[in-house]
Structure 1
Amino acid sequence: MNQMEQQALELQSKLENKTATIGVVGLGYVGLPLAVEKAKAGFTVIGFDVQKEKVDKVNAGENYIGDVIPADLEQLVKSGQLTATADYSFIKEVDAVAICVPTPLDIYKQPNMDYVKSSAKAIADHLTKGTLIVLESTTYPGTTEELIKPILEAKGFKIGEDVFLAYSPERVDPGNKHFNTKNTPKVVGGVTENCTKIAATMYRTVLDGDVHEVSSPAVAEMEKLLENTFRNINIALANEMAILCNKMGIDVWEVIDAAATKPYGFMPFYPGPGLGGHCIPIDPWYLTWKAREYNYHTKLIEAAGEINDSMPSFVVQRCMEILNEQGKALKGSKVVILGVAYKKDIDDYRESPIIPILKELRNFGVQFEVADTQIDEFKLDNQLIKTIELNEACIANADLIIIATDHSDFDYELINKNAKVILDTRNVKFDFINKRYKL
């Protein structure tokens, strides 16, 4: 047995009997739940993050991610199963490490890979032979082999022999009550067959969901973009239908419900004030950017992005129309917006479409207040805005209530009794009296 086979077998054995130490780089919405699940599975886990605040909170057992059960985190930290650090020299202590750092877009909708590059370099500086590295951050096809592989090789490592490199896209749906990190199936693609096999072993020892092996990191990277581009395009179709139905005086929600009765060939997607979060509004642009390298223009993807990006302006236009019917101008009107989170029952407003709505309303001279049961404060440009608690007076004094995010714990009965007029962008399932306009 040669040295390569020996290292692969040793790592495989450590993962199967859970004596391996696992590292997770990036302790955000993806990284912290993954670190917790790996620790709960019996592994010793070290979390790495450049933000001292996150490191300190983890080490104090303080949870800051909605999909993590606080008691689980507290117990894992107390038992020593999970620790956090900003010192990357501890990479030498791990047998496998997952990279879960942000991959944002710049102002030109091009991927900013700075976090991935800096993480890969920090890992490479302290990496030891026989270690598995898995990138989980959503990115363009080719990232693992074109960006991370050369960084590791520059330190003298041979991929598939000295160290093992793979890509396995994160699948996180904040607020989902049925699917989470533990039970969602995983896709894994390694640079070599051994890389795939070892990475798949790690996930099979941690997760309840199936682990699907593919032939390369590029396949795994592309399938992740297909998932979210599929959703992006279908939501754009629903949004375009909403705009057309509004012009024609047809209830788009009733149309979708009727179409959804077909047991085959149709999957319901719903309109809204725009797209939010760090996945659906962003991921398709990675593909659009990469396609230019092959002299290909992704017309459908870009058209969908334009439709979805236009929805906040459509919401503001609807506000104008509704207030006009009440004999009021948009300028100087008092508006209460329900929700700044990008989806219901979560505390995340990253890329929230409510932000551009608020900016437009502000530019039109609207006096607005924002209520959100999940978020106490948020930033609008450089201004920190505190959310309000809904009460009879603020609702009754508003010229318009906008249901922008349909949190389950909003008091819709209170809103129904006191609102002058409502614009519902989410089709809330409540029997409102005749003063609600839909998107």
Structure 2
Amino acid sequence: MPADLAVLGLAHSGLPLAQAATANGISTIGYDPDRGVVADIGAGRPPGDAPLAAAEVRRMLAKGFGASSDPAVLGRVRTAVICAATALGPNRAPDLSAVRTAARTLAARLRPRTLVVVESSVHPGCTEDVVRPLLEDGSGLRAGRDFHLACSPSRVDPGNRTHDYTAIPKVIGGLTPACTEAAAAFYGRLTKVVRARGPREAETAKLLETNYRHINIALMNEMAVFCHDLGIDLWDVVRCAETKPFGFQSFRPGPGVGGPSVPVDPNYLSYHSRSLGYPLRMVELAQEVNERMPRYVAQRAAVLLNEHGKSARGARILLLGVTYKPDLASQEGAPAREVAGRLKELGAQLSYHDPYVPQWRVAGQPVPRADALYEAAADADLTLLLQHHRRYDLQGLAAKAQLLLDTRGASPTGAAHRL
């Protein structure tokens, strides 16, 4: 029997899609060329930085989900969704090599009447200008006539307990109206759907969503520096501002941005705007502001030590939380590694604690892991909170630490120095 769904790429967007489909009774197979990823899933373990817990992977397997690195499994599916990871190449240009490889692999086994959807984060025009030719050339079929092609960018928020996959509407833009309806029929089995005019509108909607966050985070990061220099409590400012029932949405500053989208998607817009002959100045400025936050955090740590009669050189600094999101293991794009690298350049002696990261390396060198958290905080000259996992009792840590610098504004007022 043909499978209902093949998911190409079992990472940030691929596994949550497979999980939602399996839970809704859709026969699903996962394909990933990385045999290590497939082996992990087969053993009931989430691969690498995947946003699922082991128990969730085991439940998927119990309901019939399977993963394979054999592309032959793609030859008997009704729907194929490309969830390959995207990244940045030289000069911060979009690196679509994984998406291209997935499209070529699928094309060799593509059958008539199959629905193909692109969920990977891609630049506007990628579905039509990159994926479509690869599928058509490799299969001899024509998109919109022999098979359906659409874009429905991933909107998952890993670790969000309120908005899971089925609670987030899917934006769908098909190559033709029939393609849109085919994709809507599939995703309608999982969640609500929103029809875009076409693939480019769907692709750009994802970039707009990401850059909205990106720009507002940059604003808050600038405000953090501004308020600190003027002796203003930014966190109290935010608390007051967010009481306004209209015209304001609260964002928070931090040590930098991370994850699979925020460090990547803005570059898609700025890269292609430059090819048109003009920059997207607000997007590029936000990128610049957010990228300088790890350096600023390292400087704040050095100044704080100096104010308390200590030098960064030789100082024992404990880093708390090295993942990009709270309560998740993924380190993709997390600013912790750059913060650590800059502190090492200043001569600091580093250790770290993260309940989700058993081993951690910076510049190829292992960083010692603190197993006894409170004792390590008491022993460190400075404890630096980079990610606020729920397991951290910041009131208790503040009482134990010699100095606590909180870059997330998570500690009680007066308990720590805050960004």
User: How far apart, in 2, do the equivalents of 1:68 and 1:113 lie?
Assistant: 25
Report the CA distance between 1:276 and its aligned residue.
0.8
Report the CA distance between 1:66 and its aligned residue.
6.3
Q: 2:380 aligns with which of 398, 409, 419?
A: 398
Is 1:61 matched with 2:41? no
Q: 1:162 aligns with which of 132, 142, 146?
A: 146
What's the RMSD between the two structures over aligned residues? 1.7
Equivalent AA in structure 1 for residue 40 of structure 2: K
3-state SS, counterpart of residue 182 of structure 1: helix
Q: Cα deviations across residues 211-248 of structure 1 (Å, max 9, x unaligned)?
A: 00011100000000000000000000000011011110
Q: Percent identity, please.
A: 35
TM-score (norm 2): 0.95
Report the CA distance between 1:153 and its aligned residue.
2.0
Given that 2:353 and 2:373 are in contact with CA atoms closer than 8 Å, whether structure 1 keeps it comes out as no
Q: 2:276 aligns with which of 294, 316, 340?
A: 294
Given that 1:99 and 1:136 are in contact with CA atoms closer than 8 Å, whether structure 2 keeps it comes out as yes
Q: 63-72 or 254-263, which moves further after superposition?
A: 63-72
Indicate the residue corresponding to 1:135 in structure 2. 118
Given that 2:51 and 2:329 are in contact with CA atoms closer than 8 Å, whether structure 1 keeps it comes out as no
Q: Cα deviations across residues 282-335 of structure 1 (Å, max 9, x unaligned)?
A: 211111111122212111111111000011111111112111111111111111
3-state SS, counterpart of residue 133 of structure 1: strand
Indicate the residue corresponding to 1:108 in structure 2. 91
Given that 1:141 and 1:219 are in contact with CA atoms closer than 8 Å, whether structure 2 keeps it comes out as yes
User: How far apart, in 2, do the equivalents of 1:236 and 1:75 lie?
Assistant: 39
List runs of 5+ in structure 1 lacking aligned partners. 1-13
User: How far apart, in 1, do the equivalents of 2:92 and 2:50 lie?
Assistant: 28
User: Kindly tell me: are residues 26 and 219 of structure 1, through their superposed partners in 2, closer, same or farther at Cα, counting changes over 3 Å?
Assistant: same
Given that 1:240 and 1:307 are in contact with CA atoms closer than 8 Å, whether structure 2 keeps it comes out as yes
Indicate the residue corresponding to 2:158 in structure 1. 174
Indicate the residue corresponding to 2:263 in structure 1. 281
Indicate the residue corresponding to 2:417 in structure 1. 437
User: How far apart, in 2, do the equivalents of 1:169 and 1:301 lie?
Assistant: 20
Q: 1:378 aligns with which of 336, 339, 360?
A: 360
User: How far apart, in 2, do the equivalents of 1:247 and 1:78 lie?
Assistant: 56
List runs of 5+ in structure 2 lacking aligned partners. none
Indicate the residue corresponding to 2:312 in structure 1. 330
Q: Cα deviations across residues 229-285 of structure 1 (Å, max 9, x unaligned)?
A: 000000000000110111100011111111111111111111111111111122111
User: Kindly tell me: are residues 385 and 141 of structure 1, through their superposed partners in 2, closer, same or farther at Cα, counting changes over 3 Å?
Assistant: same
Indicate the residue corresponding to 2:23 in structure 1. 40
Report the CA distance between 1:382 and its aligned residue.
2.3
User: How far apart, in 1, do the equivalents of 2:379 and 2:278 lie?
Assistant: 53
Q: Cα deviations across residues 155-196 of structure 1 (Å, max 9, x unaligned)?
A: 321111111100000012122110121211110001111110
Equivalent AA in structure 2 for residue 375 of structure 1: V
3-state SS, counterpart of residue 73 of structure 1: helix
User: How far apart, in 2, do the equivalents of 1:367 and 1:386 lie?
Assistant: 10
Indicate the residue corresponding to 2:13 in structure 1. 30
Report the CA distance between 1:28 and its aligned residue.
0.9
Q: 1:206 aligns with which of 185, 190, 204?
A: 190
Given that 2:11 and 2:50 are in contact with CA atoms closer than 8 Å, whether structure 1 keeps it comes out as no
Q: 1:235 aligns with which of 202, 217, 223?
A: 217
Indicate the residue corresponding to 2:178 in structure 1. 194
Report the CA distance between 1:70 and its aligned residue.
4.1
Equivalent AA in structure 2 for residue 365 of structure 1: G
Given that 1:60 and 1:77 are in contact with CA atoms closer than 8 Å, whether structure 2 keeps it comes out as no
User: How far apart, in 2, do the equivalents of 1:251 and 1:215 lie?
Assistant: 45
User: How far apart, in 2, do the equivalents of 1:66 and 1:286 lie?
Assistant: 23
User: How far apart, in 2, do the equivalents of 1:198 and 1:25 lie?
Assistant: 19
User: Within 5 Å, which residues of 2 pair with 1:247-262?
Assistant: 247-262=229-244
Indicate the residue corresponding to 1:146 in structure 2. 129
Q: Cα deviations across residues 23-71 of structure 1 (Å, max 9, x unaligned)?
A: 0001112111211211121121110001112212223333346643644
Given that 1:66 and 1:175 are in contact with CA atoms closer than 8 Å, whether structure 2 keeps it comes out as no
User: Within 5 Å, which residues of 2 pair with 1:404-423?
Assistant: 404-423=386-405
Given that 1:376 and 1:386 are in contact with CA atoms closer than 8 Å, whether structure 2 keeps it comes out as no
User: How far apart, in 2, do the equivalents of 1:386 and 1:173 lie?
Assistant: 30
3-state SS, counterpart of residue 262 of structure 1: coil
Q: 1:221 aligns with which of 203, 207, 210?
A: 203
User: How far apart, in 1, do the equivalents of 2:60 and 2:328 lie?
Assistant: 24
Indicate the residue corresponding to 1:8 in structure 2. none
Given that 1:39 and 1:45 are in contact with CA atoms closer than 8 Å, whether structure 2 keeps it comes out as yes
Give the count of matched residue pairs: 417
User: How far apart, in 2, do the equivalents of 1:390 and 1:66 lie?
Assistant: 27
Equivalent AA in structure 2 for residue 22 of structure 1: L
User: How far apart, in 1, do the equivalents of 2:406 and 2:147 lie?
Assistant: 53
TM-score (norm 1): 0.91
Given that 1:117 and 1:147 are in contact with CA atoms closer than 8 Å, whether structure 2 keeps it comes out as yes
Given that 2:16 and 2:156 are in contact with CA atoms closer than 8 Å, whether structure 1 keeps it comes out as no
Is 1:271 matched with 2:253? yes
User: How far apart, in 1, do the equivalents of 2:373 and 2:3 lie?
Assistant: 53
Indicate the residue corresponding to 2:35 in structure 1. 52
Equivalent AA in structure 2 for residue 170 of structure 1: S
User: Kindly tell me: are residues 414 and 355 of structure 1, through their superposed partners in 2, closer, same or farther at Cα, counting changes over 3 Å?
Assistant: same
Given that 2:50 and 2:330 are in contact with CA atoms closer than 8 Å, whether structure 1 keeps it comes out as no
3-state SS, counterpart of residue 337 of structure 1: strand
3-state SS, counterpart of residue 123 of structure 2: coil
Equivalent AA in structure 1 for residue 35 of structure 2: K
User: How far apart, in 1, do the equivalents of 2:301 and 2:411 lie?
Assistant: 21
3-state SS, counterpart of residue 126 of structure 1: coil
User: How far apart, in 2, do the equivalents of 1:221 and 1:343 lie?
Assistant: 24
Q: Cα deviations across residues 407-428 of structure 1 (Å, max 9, x unaligned)?
A: 1102334412221111111111
Report the CA distance between 1:389 and its aligned residue.
2.2
